[in-house]
Amino acid sequence: MRTVRRAGFLGAGLLCCAALTAVGPVSAAPTASAPSCKGLPPVVRHAPAGSRPTLSRDLVACGGTTGFAGAESHLVATKSGAVFFTPAVLPHDLLGTGTAPVPVGQDTQSNASPAGQAVTKDGGRSWQLIKPLGLTWNPTDHGDYADPVTGRLFFADYGPIPLAPQLGAEQEGPAHLLWSPDDGKTWHHAAIDTVFLPENPRFTSAPAPAGGAKPVGYPDVVYFCANSNVGFTSPAITSRSCYASLDGGSTWVDKGIVLRAAPPVHSECGNAGEDYSAIDGSYPQPASDGSLYLMVSCGGSTYLTRSTDEAATFPVVKRSDGAPVTLPLPATGPGLNLGLSDLRIGAGDVLYLVDEETLEARTTLMLRVSRDFGRTWSRPADLLAPGLASVLHWSMAVQGDQVAVAYLGHKAGATTWDGWITSAQGAAASLARGASPVLTSGQVNDPKRPLLFGDQVQGGGTFQLPGPLNNQVPFPPPFDIQVFGNDFIGAAITPGGQPWGSFTQDCGPAPSSAGCVAQNGQTRGYAGHLEAAAAAPGRPVARPPAAGPAPQQLPRTGAPVVAGFGLLLLAVALGVRRRAVR
């Protein structure tokens, strides 16, 4: 195992934590809107594939903006019930962005605008700004996690904006790992400098496995896994490594490479490199005994692997006859396979596998569960809400025996996208006995006000050229906030069982739209959730949409402005892939 180096290092193989910094939330943005629980379509209970829909009498859908500019987002809920939305983008002129000297206004939003987090402790009725460690950070490619046992909040980013002298010489590029024990009031800091601009890394935590090193001063071993470098997809991203902390996130040890483009880590892959990207689901998931499960895709197959040595190795799980355990997923290959499958482990060590599949003219999300650690799987359950024909971006969450997906969906022929949440409790038990799970779905934005007006952000992220040119230009040119930074959304379930989703709300269909002019060309972070009808101020009356075929979509992936055209061309040369029908 390699040790992680950092300035200010205390002890072999360990990272020191920064001094504890007190940072309290500031007042909510004046443009923040209370979540609307009126006028939204009704929450619908239904069987898989949207069949047998009935109106829910128990739940309503709610949604509203955080009041801050938005970008690709993550969402976590802590043990207290607080919900954290990352990022809360704070556009702040040239000095605040660190971008090229172009004629921008102080409110122009870019993928280099500084950002913090937005937190709500009252179900989205108000949002407050959190600046982890008292700083603002890069607005994309972050990692967020809330330990379900302790409620400790973790945050990862690859650089402060603007630069922060207190973090030392290495600021832009390393993985800055922060944790807060008190819902963002105070923070600790460490950094890992053996990765460079890691996109969308992930944390998790688990008890120490049998025979493993025991944590000290914290009940769990905390894990952080990240790509070695920016690059969109393997093999441009050369590898993925995992790190472990035995003290709750203050110091970290490099456990080694878990995925590699060439040569592959796992012999089952033969000469085929392991497939991973900027936003895939191949990250460790913890079981109750402290072991970790990881999906490994290569050569058209997806293997299930298991670590019992705190992420040092991930051998492929074998059947009684010695055959490797593979997952029931469509074949993938090298290229930009983004967000096609994800894995979680819930109560009773049930494995929940969600993947995006094209069925005839529909692009949908399929759920499968396993109660024997991947050796057998249930029949698939189509999660899409009634009337929808396609999914753009999606995210999943599992808590106990509840699974939820947040996604952008639309009906046949539509060019705009709306925010949806589908949740199911007891789905594993239903599928195990051959029954259909009862799904609950709700649209969390007003149908008259879509979240996106196309497959990309259309109105936000431009600036006005001066003088006779008098036209809008993407910022920073030639890119905009979509090309590098709006390719994923977030999902979470609160301790009370509320499913949440995080989205980006575009300001309008074009930069000249009234909404974009009013918001200075900025997007907004948008959060939706399903809550008990008794807690909502009214009941919606609209009808759900009708079904139909799906349009095409090519995904975008987040990366810093410094990546430039080179990596984009490299990704294209490697074979940009996505499911053929979107």
CATH number at residue 445: 2.120.10.10
Report the percent of the chain where pLDDT is more than 90.
65
Q: How far is the C-alpha of 168 from the C-alpha of 155, rounded, in Å? A: 19
Give the pLDDT of residue 205: 98
Q: Which two tokens stand for residue 193?
A: 């400098």
Question: What distance in Å separates the CA atoms of residue 484 and residue 140, rounded to the nearest whole number?
Answer: 9
Higher pLDDT, 166 or 247: 247
Residue at token pair 């952000």:
457
30 burial type by CB count under 10 A (0-12 exposed, 13-18 middle, 19+ buried): exposed
What's the token pair of residue 281?
């689901």
Segment 35-61 mean pLDDT: 93
Share the mean pLDDT of the chain. 83
Rounded CA separation 145/244 (Å):
15
Q: 13 lies in a domain?
A: no
528 lies in some domain = yes
pLDDT at position 359, please? 86
Q: What beta strand segments (E) does 287-415 contain?
A: 292-298, 301-307, 341-345, 351-359, 362-370, 381-382, 390-399, 402-410
195-226 pLDDT, tens digit per residue, is 998 889 999 999 999 999 999 999 999 999 99
Predicted local confidence at residue 18, as pLDDT:
41
Whether 129 is in a domain gets the answer yes
User: In the prediction, which pLDDT does 278 show?
Assistant: 86
Q: For residue 275, what is the DSSP state? A: B
List, for residues 93-138, the tens digit of each pLDDT value.
Answer: 654 444 444 445 667 787 788 999 999 999 999 999 999 999 999 9
- Alpha-carbon dihedral sign for residues 180, 285, 349, 503: positive
Q: At residue 167, what are phi and psi to the nearest 5 degrees?
A: -90, 0
**456-474, pLDDT tens digit by residue?**
888 887 655 544 434 455 5
Q: Which amino acid is at 47?
A: A
Three-state DSSP class for 561?
helix
65 assigned to some structural domain: yes
Query: By the 8 A CB rule, do 146 and 154 touch?
Result: yes
9-18, 53-62, 184-193, 361-370, range with the lowest pLDDT: 9-18
Average pLDDT over residues 375-379: 96
Whether 1 maps to a domain, the answer reads: no
Does 320 score more than 60 pLDDT?
yes
Angle at 265 between CA 264 and CA 269, to 5 degrees: 55
Separation between Cα atoms, residue 79 and residue 180, nearest integer Å: 13
Percent helix / strand / coil, the chain, rounded to 5: 10, 35, 60
In a domain, 14, yes or no: no
Is residue 88 situated within a structural domain? yes
Q: What gap in Å lies between CA 555 and CA 488, rounded to an integer?
A: 9
Which residue range forms the structural domain that includes residue 223? 21-575
Distance between CA atoms of 568 and 545, rounded to whole angstroms? 36
pLDDT in tens, 501-533: 999 999 999 888 999 889 988 999 999 999 999
For range 24-38, the mean pLDDT:
56
In a domain, 16, yes or no: no
**Number of structural domains in the chain:** 1
62 - beta bridge partners?
529
> What Cα–Cα distance (Å) separates residue 539 from each residue in 41, 58, 76?
9, 10, 27
| Residue 16 pLDDT > 60 | no
